[in-house]
Amino acid sequence: MGMGALGPGVGEGFVAGKACEGIARSPENASLITRTMLVGQAVSESTGIYSLVIALLLIFST
């Protein structure tokens, strides 16, 4: 589970940082940048959720 959560965690942090930079450079587009960031993070987080499901299946499938 830890390995499956490593990629999405790093990716989401990178996306959030770049979104903050984008909002700082162009505050009038803050709502568009935030909306795009949240969609991207939701897609990235699905990888972590799949990892959790597989880990639970491996634990309880004995």
**Number of helical (H) and strand (E) elements in the chain, helices listed first:** 2, 0
Q: What is the pLDDT of residue 28?
A: 96
In Å, what is the CA distance from 51 to each residue of 16, 30, 56? 22, 32, 9
pLDDT for 57: 94
Whether the CB-CB separation of 40 and 15 falls below 8 Å is answered with: yes
Question: What residues does each domain of the chain span?
Answer: 2-60
List the end-to-end C-alpha distance of the chain, in Å, as a whole number.
18
Stretches in the chain below the pLDDT threshold 70: 62
What pLDDT does residue 2 have?
80
Q: What is the per-residue pLDDT for 36?
A: 95
For residue 29, give both structure tokens. Answer: 């587009």
pTM value? 0.76
* The pair of three-digit structure tokens given for residue 40, joined into one six-digit string: 């991207």
2-60 has which CATH code?
1.20.20.10
Q: What is the pLDDT of residue 3?
A: 81
